[in-house]
C-alpha cells in the first residue's frame, strides 16, 4: 500500500531527508501545530512523531503539555492548524472519510472508559461495529463474545457497566476499541483510574495485543510503570517533543513487509 508518489507529490510533505522514513511508518505526524480557539497557549508547537506497525509507544509529560491534543490528532478526532498526518504514507487531514478511517483503523481507550451505561458489556463492544466492515447482527454478537473472551470478560458479558468493577470496565472498553480490528490503539491515561492490580491486567493485555495482533499502541501516561512496558518513551513539554528514546531507531523492514 506504500505509494511514494503520493507523499512526494504533497506540497507540505515530508522534508527530503525523511521521505524514505515516512513510507515505512504506519503513522507519521509531521510538524503539527494546534492552538485552541479560546486558548492562549499553543497546545501543540511543531510536534513530529512516527510510529511503526506493532510498536508500543508511551507519551509522557507534565499536565497541559499537549499529550491528549496530540493523541486526538493522531486518531483524527481533531485536525491540526498546521502540519500533516500520514497513514502508510498517505496524508490524512484532507481525506473526506475520516470517520470511516477511524472506524476501521483506530481504537480509542480513555481514562474514564466512557462505556454506554444502558448497554451490556457485550452490546457496548458492538457499538463500533455498526461502522467498519459490514456484519450481520449475529456476526456482531459473535465477534463481541470473542473479544470479551480475549480480555477475560466472558463471564460478565451481560452486565451493564455500573455492575462492573473499574478494572473490568476498562477491559470492556479495550474490547470495544478492538471491535473493528484496528491496526493502531490510542490510549489516554488508560490506567489513571485503576489500582495497580487492575492496571497490571490492562498492561498485560496491551503487551499481548502488541505481540499477538501486531498492534501499534500509543499510550499517554503519567505512570512510570506504564512507560517502562513500552518499546519507546516520548517526552513532551509545552507542546513539543523534548525527548524520544526511539528517535534513533532505524525503521525495520517488517512494517514495510506487512503493509
Partner 1 sequence: MYFVSFILKNLARRPIRTVLTVLGLAVAVGSMIALLAVSYNVERSVEAAFDSRRVDLVVMQKGKPMGWDSEFSEYFVRETAKMPEVERVSEGIVGNANIERDGVLVDLGILLVQGWKPDNFGYEDLQILEGRRLLPGDRRKVMIGSTLANNLKELSKIGPIGHRVGDTLTFVGDPKNPYEIVGIFKSPVIFEDGGAIVPFEDGQELHSKRGKVTGFSVRVRKSAPDSQAEVETVKRKIEALRDPDDPYVVVVADTPDKYVQSVSQLELIRAVSWLVSVIALVVSVISLLNTMTMSVLERTQEIGILRAVGWPRRRVVRMILGEAACLAAAAALVGTVIAFLGMQTLTKMPKVNGFIEPDLSPWVMARGFALTVMVGVVGGAYPAYRAARLLPTEAIRHD
Ligand X SMILES: Nc1ncnc2c1ncn2[C@@H]1O[C@H](COP(=O)(O)OP(=O)(O)OP(=O)(O)O)[C@@H](O)[C@H]1O
Nearest residue to 25 via CA among 56, 52, 2: 52
**Alpha carbons 154 and 206: distance in angstroms, whole number:** 18
Q: Given its phi and psi angles, is residue 16 left (phi above 0), alpha (psi -120 to 50 degrees) or beta?
A: alpha
Cα dihedral 17, 23, 26, 31, rounded to 10, equals: 40
Stretch that binds Mg ion, among 60-68, 90-98, 221-229, 251-259 (CB under 5 A): 60-68
**Alpha carbons 210 and 217: distance in angstroms, whole number:** 7
Q: Could you give the string, one character per residue 60-99, with x where binding to ligand X holds by CB under 6 A and - elsewhere?
A: -x-xxxxxxx------------------------------
Question: 119 contacts which partner out of ligand X, Mg ion, partner 1, none, CB within 5 to 8 A by kind?
Answer: partner 1
1 class by beta-carbon count within 10 Å (0-12 exposed, 13-18 middle, 19+ buried):
exposed
- Least distance to ligand X from the beta carbon of 49, Å? 14
- Least distance to ligand X from the beta carbon of 220, Å? 7
Asked if 165 and 156 touch (Cβ cutoff 8 Å), the reply is no
How many positions of this chain bind partner 1 (CB under 8 A)? 39
Residues with Cβ within 8 Å of residue 109, at least 6 apart in sequence: 170, 173, 174, 177, 185, 186, 187, 188, 190
Instruction: Count Cα atoms within 13 angstroms, Cβ side, for 196.
Output: 3
Question: 128 contacts which partner out of partner 1, Mg ion, ligand X, none, CB within 5 to 8 A by kind?
Answer: partner 1
Residues with Cβ within 8 Å of residue 138, at least 6 apart in sequence: none
Stretch that binds partner 1, among 56-64, 133-141, 200-208, 250-258 (CB under 8 A): 133-141
179 is a site residue for partner 1 (CB under 8 A): yes
Nearest residue to 122 via CA among 166, 167, 168, 190: 168
- Least distance to partner 1 from the beta carbon of 223, Å? 16
Cell of residue 29, nine digits: 505526524
- Least distance to ligand X from the beta carbon of 111, Å? 8
Q: Could you give the string, one character per residue 83-102, with x where binding to partner 1 holds by CB under 8 A and - elsewhere?
A: --------------x-xx-x
- Least distance to partner 1 from the beta carbon of 160, Å? 10
**Alpha carbons 198 and 187: distance in angstroms, whole number:** 16
41 is a site residue for ligand X (CB under 6 A): yes
Choose between 33 and 114: whose C-beta lies nearer to partner 1: 114
Stretch that binds partner 1, among 53-61, 84-92, 127-135, 204-212 (CB under 8 A): 127-135
Positions that interact with partner 1 (CB under 8 A): 68, 72, 75, 77-78, 97, 99-100, 102-104, 106-108, 110-112, 114, 116-119, 122-123, 126-128, 130-132, 137, 140-141, 176-177, 179-180, 188-189
Positions that interact with ligand X (CB under 6 A): 36, 38-39, 41, 43, 61, 63-69
Positions that interact with Mg ion (CB under 5 A): 68
Amino acid at each position: 500500500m506504500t505509494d511514494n508518489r503520493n507523499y512526494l507529490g504533497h506540497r507540505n510533505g515530508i522534508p527530503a531527508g525523511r521521505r524514505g522514513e515516512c513510507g515505512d511508518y504506519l503513522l507519521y505526524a509531521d510538524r503539527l501545530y494546534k492552538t485552541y480557539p479560546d486558548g492562549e497557549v499553543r497546545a501543540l508547537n511543531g510536534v513530529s512523531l512516527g510510529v511503526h506497525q506493532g510498536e508500543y509507544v508511551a507519551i509522557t509529560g507534565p499536565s497541559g503539555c499537549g499529550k491528549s491534543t496530540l493523541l486526538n490528532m493522531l486518531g483524527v478526532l481533531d485536525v491540526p492548524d498546521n502540519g500533516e498526518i500520514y497513514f502508510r504514507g498517505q496524508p490524512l487531514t484532507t481525506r473526506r472519510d475520516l470517520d470511516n478511517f477511524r472506524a476501521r483503523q483506530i481504537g480509542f481507550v480513555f481514562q474514564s472508559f466512557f462505556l454506554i451505561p444502558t448497554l451490556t458489556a457485550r452490546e457496548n463492544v458492538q457499538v463500533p461495529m455498526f461502522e467498519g466492515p459490514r456484519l450481520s447482527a449475529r456476526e456482531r454478537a459473535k465477534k463481541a463474545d470473542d473479544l470479551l473472551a480475549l480480555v477475560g470478560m466472558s463471564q460478565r458479558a451481560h452486565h451493564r457497566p455500573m455492575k462492573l468493577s473499574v478494572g473490568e470496565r476498562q477491559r470492556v472498553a479495550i474490547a470495544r476499541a478492538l471491535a473493528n480490528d484496528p491496526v493502531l490503539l490510542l490510549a489516554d491515561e488508560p490506567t489513571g483510574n485503576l489500582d495497580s492490580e487492575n492496571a497490571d491486567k490492562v498492561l498485560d493485555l496491551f503487551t499481548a495485543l502488541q505481540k499477538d495482533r501486531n498492534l501499534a499502541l500509543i499510550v499517554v501516561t503519567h505512570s512510570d510503570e506504564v512507560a517502562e512496558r513500552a518499546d519507546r518513551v516520548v517526552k513532551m513539554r509545552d507542546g513539543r517533543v523534548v525527548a524520544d528514546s526511539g528517535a534513533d531507531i532505524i525503521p525495520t523492514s517488517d512494517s514495510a513487509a506487512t503493509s
